[in-house]
Amino acid sequence: MNINYSVSQATINDLNDLASLFDLYRVFYGQPSNAEGAKQFLFERFDHAESIIYIARCSSTNQAIGFTQLYPTFSSISMKRSWVLNDLYVVEEYRKHGVAKKLLEEVKGFAILTGAKGIALSTAPDNKKAQSLYEQLGYVKDDEYYQYFLTLPQ
């Protein structure tokens, strides 16, 4: 199957399609499906201008087939912005067609355009396919710093 697709920065007009993809993404990572929660979460990101989202669409059907979401962060040491690539998902039947690579290329272009220091991401240790793609595109695994996370009581 040879597919043609386009990637663009998402707007609030893409919310319904993005919410469906976002719900699939969360299910992929073991979370229960919550379509309404996904839509509300993404709406809030748009409403508060808290993230940048890119969406991939099949050219012939306009179907949303993938997305990636970035969050800003800042470095006090370098006094520059960086972007955290928090989410990347491609619908299973469209994988292995360069969609994820194209999404990552768009993200890189956006980061350069905004004068960012770089792009950070993390992935599961067993997600070898993603790791291979990231390394192919120049991402380097951090062996210098440990990352910590404090889970707060809900």
Q: pLDDT (tens digit, 9 = 90+) per residue, 5-60?
A: 999 999 999 999 999 999 999 999 999 999 999 999 999 999 999 999 999 999 99
| pTM for the model | 0.93
User: Quick one: pLDDT band at residue 147, thresholds 50, 70, 90?
Assistant: confident
Residue pLDDT, tens place only, 123-144: 888 989 999 999 999 999 988 8
Q: What is the pLDDT of residue 1?
A: 63
Q: Would you say residue 72 has pLDDT above 90?
A: yes
Those residues with Cβ within 8 angstroms of residue 60's Cβ, 6 or more apart along the chain or in another chain: 3, 4
Where exactly are the structural domains of the chain? 5-136
Asked if residue 3 has pLDDT above 90, the reply is no
Among 14-18, 83-87, 149-153, whose mean pLDDT is lowest?
149-153
- 3-state DSSP percent of the chain in helix, strand and coil, to 5: 35, 25, 40
**Which segments of 85-147 does DSSP mark as H helices, in order?**
99-113, 128-136
Q: Which CATH class is domain 5-136?
A: alpha beta
